[in-house]
Amino acid sequence: MGQLEDQVKRLSVLLELADPLRERVAATLLRISTFSNMEPGDVLYTEGDARAGDGFVLLQGEVTVRKSDGFEARVQAPALLGEMQQFHLEDEAKRFASVIAGQNVAVLHFDWQKFYQALEADISPNDQTHVRDALRNQAWMHYLEIDDEI
């Protein structure tokens, strides 16, 4: 599990956290996630989908992020996918973009609610705030990147 843990700890969102907290959050993600390989063209998310519970850690390969307005970007591993949905302000939050697997994609698949519940058991309330702030910062950065391209 050492190689997977190293990949998860390299996620940009976790680099905002101090080393001991980064290690605990990475361990939590690994404990609650399921590893899988994706086929080219597999859809991780569909724009407009109301299901908000899935998260992915892109461990290997590249995915395409695509919006119906023509925006398209490629995201390479390691990357956290699905964090923007966690901070959507509408009552019925919908996926902001579609995410499609490319070649040689490996992911950790997890449920955001289980992730937050596990964090409550694993780390202090103060550390939970740091993790949520880091996730919120990353979500805003992704939103601004997409908004700049539109």
Give the total number of structural domains in the chain: 1
DSSP lists the bridge partners of residue 70 as: none
User: Helix 125-149 and helix 19-32: axis angle, to 10°?
Assistant: 80
Could you list the beta-strand ranges (E) of the chain.
34-38, 43-45, 54-60, 62-66, 72-76, 79-81, 98-101, 105-111
Residue 107 structural domain? 2-149
- Tell me which of 49-63, 83-97, 103-117 is least confident: 83-97
For tokens 């490319």, what's the residue? Answer: 102
Give me the CATH number covering residue 79.
Answer: 2.60.120.10
Measured at the alpha carbon of residue 74, what is the angle toward residues 68 and 142, in degrees to the nearest 5? 75
pLDDT (tens digit per residue) in 8-22: 999 999 999 999 999
The better pLDDT of the pair 75, 83 is held by 75
Q: Work out the number of other CB atoms within 10 angstroms of the CB of residue 28.
A: 22
At 29 the pLDDT is 95
The segment with the largest mean pLDDT, out of 45-59, 79-93, 124-138, is 124-138
At 144 the pLDDT is 63
